[in-house]
Each structure stands twice: as C-alpha cells, then as structure tokens.
Chain A
Amino acid sequence: MSRRRRVVITGVGIVSPLGHELTEFRRNLLSGLSAAAPITVFDPARLPTRIAAQVDASSLPTQTRDRKIAFGLAATRAAIADADGGDALPVAEYYAGTGGGLSLGIGLELFSMPDMVKFLEREEIPAGVHAQTFLQTPSDVCAHLICREHDFLRAPPLVHVSACAAATDAIGTAFRMIRDGRRRWMLAGGADSMINPMGVGGFCAIEATTRRNHEPRRASRPFDRDRDGFLLGEGAGLLVLETLDDAQARGARIYGEVSGYGNSFDAYGISEPHPEGEGALLAMQRALADAGLHPEDISYINAHGTSTPKNDVVETRAIRRLLGRHAERVPVSSTKSMIGHLISAAGAVELAAAILCAETGWVHPTINLERPDPACDLDYVAEGARRVKVETILKNSFAFGGQNASLVIRMAGC
C-alpha cells in the first residue's frame, strides 16, 4: 500500500445559529451566547416544542425552499474562500483538473405538509410550481448543486446519512480517502435543517426535544440535572481537507491536522444508547488508535452533549472509561448548549467551534449547567470560556440507531 499522507484542515465555512462569519461565531461561543428563540421559520402553533436555534438566512446569497440546500451552498463558498485566504494559491487554480471531491452529511428529505395536503387531494403537481421542489427535494440535490457550482469537484460525492453522526462520518471518510491516496483533496462536512412541521413534530412525537418553551435560552442544558431533551438547531459546516504537502505548497493557513477517525455501532437500542457506552467507547478508541495516540494525549473533548437524559450520562461514562484518571484533567464542553442540535450538520459545525476557539487558546463553555447531574461528573467548563492550551481535540457524534463517530484533531503548531 502507498504511504499514508498527512491530512490538514485549511478552510472552514459555516452557516450557524450564532452567525456565519468565523470571528463572530467564535466571539459568540466564548461569550456563552444562546441562539435559542421561539420558532419563526413556521408557526409551530401548539406543538409541544415551539423553540429552536434558527439560522438568520436573510443574508445568504441563495434562497431555497429546502433550507439545508442554501446552508450547504453558502458554507461551501465560505470554506473555499477561507482556504483561499492570505497569500495562498486559490484551491481552484492549484488543483485545476485534479478532481477534488465532496463528502457531505445530509439530512432527511422531509416533505412540505401544505404540499402533501394538495398532493393527496389530486395526485398531481400544481401548475406553476417547480416539479423538482414541489412536495420534497431529494437531499442529495444539495451535494450535486455544490459540485455543479464548483466544477473542480469532479469525484463522485460521498453522501452520508448516518443521522446525527453524518457530518463527523463525512469528515472522517474524507480524511481516510486523502490519507490513503484515493482523493487528493476534499470538502467535507454537513448541512441540515429539520425546523419544519414534520421535523419538529416527529421529534416531539418521540419526546426527544426540550419543552422549555417559556425560557428558550435556558432550554439546552447538557449534563444538568434539569435537562429535558435537545434543542433543535440548523445550519451547515464545510471544511477543506488536503495533504500537508499540498497545503504547504499552496501557502495555505493550516488550522490543524486530522489524525484519527473511528466509528462503531452500539448494536443495542433504537433510540437509547448502550447503558455502558460500549459503542461510544469503541468509536473513541478506534479514533485514537487510528491516530496512534493514547488517552492521555487528549487535551480537550468536544462532546456530543445533547442535553437528553440518556445521552449525557452514557457519554460521560464512556469518556471516563476511555480516559481513566486522565478524565479529571480534560475539559469537556458541549457546543449544543448554545447552538442546539444541528443533526446531520452537527459534527462539522461543532468541530469548527472547537478548532476556532482552540486556535486562540480557549475552550468554549457548556452553558446552563447550573445543577450538575450527579451521574455527569466530568469537567464541563460550566463557569465560562476557559484559557486552555489545546493540542489534541477529540470530537464525538452519536446518532439515533447507535451509530457513533469520533475524530482526533491535532492543532497546528503542536
């Protein structure tokens, strides 16, 4: 087999409920700002959950009926612009004709309920309505539109549908493809929006989302004993991944190195994680082994940290099993406490959050952790942003259906 290439992150693009510009996003995270608010994207009427962390889409250049498509397109443009920053040779120019690829975690192809009512009545597409957007748009369209807009993305897109683990899987798969010489460079991340009647209604039906409608900013409270479900968010995050050699030759700014990836199945419960965190532990162990690192090499964990009763306890347990005594020395924080759960985009935007804070010597807080759950006994950075020299980040994403993914990132200069 050919030698393993070192893979680095040279571009970050986000569309998030706490802003789309990187310094603004980092400032809001370090300030401990919550993006939660009453839902305005649609009228939730009397649904049990009526709050979410929504994206301000008014400034996005492309407006689409399916919000995740607009988010994915905007985050891609931002990631490429970021990778082209400074004195770097532009990606499009440097890689001209060499066929980069896209690895994208993407959400459900949810349908429009008003369209569904019309469709069931007549079983036809109303006049004057675009056939490809009436009722629903297949989610892979987002990947195709990104590739069509950036015609240097010529490898077939890898579309990931592992739900809440999808973006982390997308980044991990892209990392492996470049490391093993199957792709020269890739854009990787995720895009999602489930803030619509069927999305919110579906999560309400399984009692997964918070019902703290009266105080939205205190609703997402990972590891707190009063947590009652996750806060739904939306957005997109895309990273430019390339080899260290190419990044240096291009003169690109390097955020960090992707050094390990692992994923696993719980093979346990459809909506509940393995009680001892077997699958989560396995994913973290595989990522560390892939990176050739030991648990004591980890200096910060960006948790899945959903604010659901079961996840937070099990993730804590799995981290303790992974780190042993080192767990006392590792700060762990949940980005979802501020931006909610971006589902198939979560892993990418949260990884961006971790990297952007770490490069300035900070880790962001877990907000709303006021009364710690006795079963959640790690250092969750509850007091506010903290100065930490972060050398190695472990990023977790765990999905309904027991699909778990973890990434190990070495920060630049470490």
Chain B
Amino acid sequence: MDAPLESGLHAPLVVTGVGSLVLAPARAGEEDPSVDAAREVAPWLKSKKMRKFMGKQDQLAVAAAGRAAKDAALDERTLRERTGLYLCVGHIPFERAQIEAIARGSIQADEFCMERFSTTAFERVNPLLTFRCLPNMPAFHVSLNLGMRGPYFVTYPCAGQFYLALECATAALESGEVDVALVGAVADQNNFLVAYHFRRTSDSRKLTAWEGIDAGAFLCLETRDGARRRNAEVKAELLSSEVSYAAPDSWGESRPFAESVTFAGVKTVAAKPTAASLPVSLSHAAGGAGKGEFVHQLSTAGGVEATSRWRVV
C-alpha cells in the first residue's frame, strides 16, 4: 500500500453543527423500526405529500441533515446559495414487501417466469418503489426540504467512501466553491437485501447472523474564518484526515472490518460497518459528550484504511 494520501488541509476547518438519528434495532417479530424514522422526519418536511416517496434511508437523511443545519443556525439563504451536500449512502435497501410481491407474482412451476413477471407481477409494482430505493434520492430529499441548490457529491456504499465525501467537502471549502459543507452518511441496514450482503461469506450456502444499524448523521463543516464571520459556535475542529487504499479481491475472502474511536483517552471498538459511523460518533461527542481529542480509525472490506483526528471543544 502507498503512503497515505493527505487530505491536504490548507485552511483550518471546523464543525459548527451536528445532527444524527440512530434507530433502535427492530424487536423480534417486528418488521423494522422505520416508524421512528417517519416520526422524526416530520418536522423537516416542507410538504407532507412527499412522505409516500420516502424510504427509511431518505427519512434518516432528511432528519439528520435538518438537525445539523439547525444546530449550526444556518439561514435559508446560506443553505440555498452557499452550502454544498456531500453524502455517502449505504447499500441499496429495496423494500421486502414490494420485492416479495413481484417475486411471488412471477413464479410458475416453482421457477421465475418472465411472462408472469411482465404481466401479473408487473401490475403489482408500486411505481414509487423506483424512487424509494435509488441511491441519489436521500440527496434529493435533503435538497428539497432544506432548500439547497448544491453543489453536491453523492457516493456509496460504506464507511470508507464517507472519507471521500469528507475530502470533496474539504476541497470545496478550501477552493471557496462553498461556504458551508453538510457532510453526512446514511445507512438502512435492517433490510433483507442489505443484510444479505453482509451475511454472505465466500462459502456457498453459508449466511452468518446479522443485526444491522439504521442511522443517519451530518456534520456542518466550515472554514474557521467562515464560522467567525457567521458568529457560529465551533463544536469541533478537523485536525487531519488520511486515507489509503489497496484494491480488495472482490471475488475472494472479505477483508476484516475494523473501526475504533478514541475520545478523551477512551477507546471504543465498533463491531459493525456502517457508512454513518464516523459522523454518528462525532455527532455524539460534539453534541455534549465531553471535550478532547477524537480519533477515528477505519479499515474496510472495500480496501480503505483511514484515520481522522478532531478536537472537540
């Protein structure tokens, strides 16, 4: 692996707002905890009519982004004209009920039948399904409800790519393209297809146990000078961010995932990969959990190794 690429921080960057939403795991016998996301997103919706177009991932993104924007006291004009969105979404959460309806309607003699798919099953497709699963839809819903006109960077699917979103945000702030960057991630993992992805191993037939995390989190990032001009309260400072990469063997054994957060001298090891892990834990730290240095370290199945250092003030 090459020497780590530096994120190239030229101007001190600070966090002036945080927002996160982590849903409780589904209890046995319950479908999923999405009802909580639906409730939490309600205050941020410009039009209740849009609810039907929103999947859980969309709801998590809007609620977390809304909280971060409010926490940073961003006004409407700044959000509209001078704020960029840098978002990492998780694996695509197609909804089981919809997919099952299509699949069951496509079966003939215990096999998939295209004739039935194109007639019986096709008629069962909810056209909204398309909109509730596209990976760029969380960004759409955030832009609509917060009144943002970009620029943007939308990436996928894991915690490593969050660091790329952070790098793009850093570049946009330093070049003056934006004054404020909403940098976030969202993961809807209590979903049968996302769970399948994490459960499969390189051995055929073998699926491991899995309990996912549903979370969304955003950081409001600015230059120190920009924050000063807005009289914004600084909650944390980005000290450094380093990312390196070695392409994984995608058809072979998965590299082990490893993640840790050290805050105020206490190290916590995370067991599960999620695109939102860094912004969630930093949101908690900067949201009143204490002060001190915050170090996030990550090694992903996607071949990314990353470290970022922050100072929570």
Contact = CB atoms under 8 A, between A and B. Distances in A.
Say whether A associates with B.
Answer: yes
Interface in B128-179: 129-131, 133-137, 139-140, 143-144, 147-158, 160-161, 163-164, 167-168, 171, 174-175
A400 B136 contact: yes
A264 B249 CA distance: 35
A265 B153 contact: no
A111 interface: yes
B144 A267 contact: yes
Contact of B205 (A113, A126, A286): A126
Contacts of A3: none
Interface stretch (B16-24, B103-111, B232-240, B280-288): B103-111
A159 B161 contact: yes
Given A128-B204, A157-B245, A202 B129 contact: yes
B197 A151 contact: no
Contacts of A136: 193, 197
Interface string B72-97: 00000000000001000101101000
Interface string A43-73: 1111100000000000000000000000000
B118 A127 contact: no
A interface, size bucket: 35 or more
Nearest to A44: B118
A134 B204 CA distance: 9
A86 to B, nearest CB: 29
A249 interface: no
A153 B91 CA distance: 24
Contact of B149 (A46, A130, A265): A265
A106 B131 CA distance: 17
Given A45-B115, A111-B193, A155-B5, A403 B202 contact: no
B276 interface: no
Contacts of A78: none
The residue in A124, A136, A159 that gathers the most chain B C-beta atoms within 10 A of its C-beta is A159
Nearest to A112: B112
Contact of A156 (B94, B136, B164): B164
Given A47-B122, A131-B203, A140-B302, A159 B155 contact: yes
Contact of A114 (B111, B164, B197, B248): B111
B204 A402 contact: no
B268 interface: no
Interface string A359-383: 0000000000000000000000000
A177 B171 contact: yes
Given A131-B202, A144-B302, A267 B168 contact: no
A181 interface: yes
Interface stretch (A161-169, A227-235, A236-244, A299-307): A161-169
Nearest to B303: A144
Contacts of B152: 162, 263-265, 403
A32 interface: no
A152 B175 CA distance: 28
A131 B204 contact: yes
A155 B160 CA distance: 12
A201 B68 CA distance: 37
Contacts of B144: 267-268, 402
Given A45-B117, A182-B167, A109 B150 contact: no
A204 B130 CA distance: 10
B245 A282 contact: no
B88 to A, nearest CB: 9
A156 B244 CA distance: 6
B245 to A, nearest CB: 4
B114 A43 contact: yes
Interface of A: 1, 42-47, 97, 99, 106, 108-109, 111, 113-114, 116-117, 119-121, 123-132, 134-136, 138-141, 144-145, 147-148, 151, 153-163, 169, 173, 176-177, 180-182, 197, 201-206, 262-268, 270-271, 278-279, 282-283, 286, 399-404
- Which 6 pairs, one residue from A and one from B, show the smallest C-beta to C-beta distance? A401-B140, A147-B247, A265-B143, A45-B118, A148-B247, A156-B245
Interface of B: 1-2, 5, 8, 10, 50, 53, 85, 89, 91-92, 94, 99-100, 102-104, 106-107, 110-112, 114-115, 117-119, 122, 125-127, 129-131, 133-137, 139-140, 143-144, 147-158, 160-161, 163-164, 167-168, 171, 174-175, 193, 196-197, 200-207, 243-251, 302-304
Given A45-B119, A154-B2, A264-B152, 9 more contacts: A139-B157, A144-B250, A148-B247, A156-B160, A156-B304, A159-B157, A182-B5, A202-B125, A263-B152
